[in-house]
Structure 1
Amino acid sequence: MKPVFRLEQQQHQQHHTAVLSGLHPATTYHIRMLAINGIEPSAYTDPIAAKTQEEAPVGPPQSVHVETLGPDQLLISWKPPQVELWNGDLLGYVIYWNVHGASSVGGNHTSSHTIRGVSVNQFRLTDLRKFTRYDITIAAFNGVGVGPQSAVVTATTQEGVPEAPPQSVACSPLSSQSIKVSWLPPPSNRHGGLLQGYKVIYRPVLKDNIIHVATSEVKRTSSIETYLHGLLKFTNYSIRLLAYTSVGDGVVSDPTYCSTEQDVPGPPAGIKALALTGDSILVSWLPPEQPNGIIVQYTVYIETSETGPVEKHEPTSFPVRVAPGTETVFEVRSLVELQRYEFWVTASTIVGEGEGTRPVTQTPNSRAPARIASFSQILRQAVKSSVLLPCVSVGLPIPTITWRRIMDIIRGEAGSIYEISQQGTLSIHRLDKSKEGNYTCMAKNLWGEDQVTYQVLVLMAPDAPSLELQHTTSRTIHLRWRATDDGGAPIQGYILSYKRDHGNWQEVQLDSDRLSHTLQSLHCGATYHAYLTAHNKVGNSRPSSIVTAVTKGGDGDSNENLVVIILQHPVYLNLTWHSIQNSQ
């Protein structure tokens, strides 16, 4: 056996020790000895085996490579350190990473993950920031400690969509049909890529008297302010914003509300002029379909209607101030019997007076035929509520009033579902679908008769929407739904409720024009439950059937941090032997 190390000591003790230094860690050595005197050396002892203790590896992993898998994932691969640098049996690897420039890898901002098993040679980092540059190193470890880190490898995640909405959204009206909107970009660390621009999503907020569905409009801009034009007058708008990259749209902001300014109103929706007596006429009208503001006054205009070339005079006007409970009727007195008069009505807001109705003519008559000043209308009322059907009648002698539903005469009684006041108003209480239909008021006297018809529609809460699962990923669940019966009133929005198994319910508010939604930032390999409700002006629908979905993958959320105490000591062997006594 050729000696690797040779140690010579001259000792005269019965018990001897020696230290072999400069050895390799975790290495088995075969040791034999001989004794030497003045004559000749003895034979070697039988060899003994001894192994030095382990030390932390002194070489880093090799061929470290990082590949981009997506907007939030990187794939890291490597090879083990050179075997002679292991200093023991490798147990695994520690991966360190941080955002480039945040600090040196291994500093306070560094994340780490421990991989156990020397045969593993790749790992996927997930939940990273989109479109972000990362510094990555790897170190091997054994039972004693962690070795040196590899050289830093830098890689950038792919571009994604913005992870936060625009900030500080503000709006202000510029006119009755325009609004200015301004905002700030999302936080710089949440851009998810290179921002291409913004989308301004706006829609009018439904009013109780609006029955059509208001859809959202979208305006694109690369600026951080924009102007919305061509809006409805004196209308409250819901305004939301999102930023987008080349990959797609980001998170939508919560709605900000802004109302356009008032303007002059449109004309009243209808007008009647009815002979009341021999010197008076009753004028009635309907409010404007487009009030464009708060109506503060109506003005009734009267003009003598003559045939032939006569001198024209300025019409006489009678302002009718609007107050709570004000009826849209006005009695014009001190007229000349059988003289023909022309009437029209305007409405006014604080901005000014609007257009007038079409003119109508009438003559005072002491033999006034029965007429009804109320107007035929369609009335929409919520279930379980009450509705009033006015029937203001005029004529001499005073007309008799009869209410009918189809061919049946309605005889109202106090405290019943149907009540008829002394003024002829029909009240219908505790509305349900069976009360829908046409209700006709008839007025009759010696000189004539008249009638108006109301169509009563009973509004219900929507039916439950139909919710279904589209697909899942490791972090998202994509849902879509179909609206069913809206109950007669436009759906104003949806509430999506969801929870993880054994978790608490969470809610997401969604606009009425949304028919799909993606639940994001979920746990992978987890079970979730979701249901949807719709709501209109009447109330909420029943919940949809519960949809259960499982995100893909296993639970990869936990990143272990390796804590190792490195024991530093010299590598040596302590040898002990006994001298062979000379028998001579």
Structure 2
Amino acid sequence: MMSSPWYGSLLHFAIAVIVVVVALASPVPQPPKIEVISTATNKIDVQVKPTTADDTTPILGYTLYYKPDFSNWKSVTLSASISKYRLTDLRCGSNYKIYATAFNKIGTSEPSHITNTSTMGMEPIIPEIDEFIEVSTMAITFHLNAWDDGGCPIHYFVIEYRERNQEDWIMTSTQVKPSGTYVIFELTPATWYKCRITAHNNAGSSVAEYEIATLALTGVPQPPKIEVISTATNKIDVQVKPTTADDTTPILGYTLYYKPDFSDWKSVTLSASISKYRLTDLRCGSNYKIYATAFNKIGTSEPSHITNTSTMGMEPIIPEIDEFIEVSTMAITFHLNAWGDGGCPIHYFVIEYRERNQEDWIMASTQVKPSGNYVILELTPATWYKCRITAHNNAGSSVAEYEIATLALTGVPQPPKIEVISTATNKIDVQVKPTTADDTTPILGYTLYYKPDFSDWKSVTLSASISKYRLTDLQCGSNYKIYATAFNKIGTSEPSHITNTSTMGMEPIIPETEEFIEVSTMAITFHLNAWGDGGCPIHYFVIEYRER
């Protein structure tokens, strides 16, 4: 029996998912027509329609593809009854390419011609100088809200300046936020300066250059007086008043400047009728510098002297050892809630320990959250240890060192028994029970510890009457380690053996080829919803291809 030429070649194919691209003859649809109807700053309305009518193999729908310059294609599938579609959440003031394919029950058309269009919006619009710039004797203030964003929000400004007779620009900042004011200080009175401001948005950037002369020292107000009235953990009350009364060119208002150490200046403008002002949303327990300027119709005063003050609050307060530390035979438990925050919330703890006769510290953790308990496990019974705990808040840090001896192996409970009863995708039911009954020093409760791979231990404390407990909000399809300790009025048991288990769920399930892949003459479409998630939601796909 003779075999055909193609039959022999089949003996050499690799066993894999094979996609054969067949050059389909008509009756696949003709490429559709595509037309942009209207555009806005973040949307484009598109009309898609067939090139010719075909009653024998009617078009079932369209796939619309679109992308901005220097980005990836996105697509959306439309039924044949929807010929007009609005692309939304687009980038403002950006060029877009759009094309479409049509499909019927036989296959998918060639792509249509690519249509080039753009969303509305333009580079930032340079403002008039008198709306944008305010000049005093030794400072230039830029009112950033004077810029028009051109329909696309401004991301940031770059501000540079130089004296007119100098060549080198001075860079004040490359990332000025697009709101409020920005001030260049310590300039020379009666001097010409050049300023260059670059505003950036999605549509591009605009550069404005100005020649500006600072004012001479005549007619402007004297620097005002500034006094701190009161402070709290996150606010400071300030009084601003003129140095001298001036009825001929009265003060119109004040600009109050303030900043914490190692941060940027902020400012607020007050009318002359408001002499007391409350600075709010400040950092707790932090040093602040404050000064002010006064302005009248002629110009702005020199800055006042800088006033140094601070918000209330202090470093974390070290607790008493018996409130903070609980010791068992092979573990030390730190009750973190025993610390006082000094009026400023604690951000995190750093915990270190070592045996007393050793020199090198062991770093238990550098980012312990400031709540609940933290436990150092697998210590040696009846052994002296040194522990060092550093607590951090906005006001600073406090370091506590303790010498602690673990208990000898007498009188504490035996390690409890632990059993996994059932698991689900995000929960595990656990049973904890004593190894032996003890009526003289009965068990008062258990501490249950659990963690997924590559993460930190968490714990929950159970009374002795609760032997079954459900761990919830767990990671799907993940391995977990679980152990427990029992405690009585004498102390805490050794840890139980660690139980290894896992929540339910598996890797994504590969679909059948015909459910997943759709082929046309020049394209392959993947229907991602054909994959099964294995019980755990799929995060993302990686797609690669090559010619065979």
Query: TM-score band (shorter)?
Result: under 0.3
**Of the two, which has the highest radius of gyration?**
1
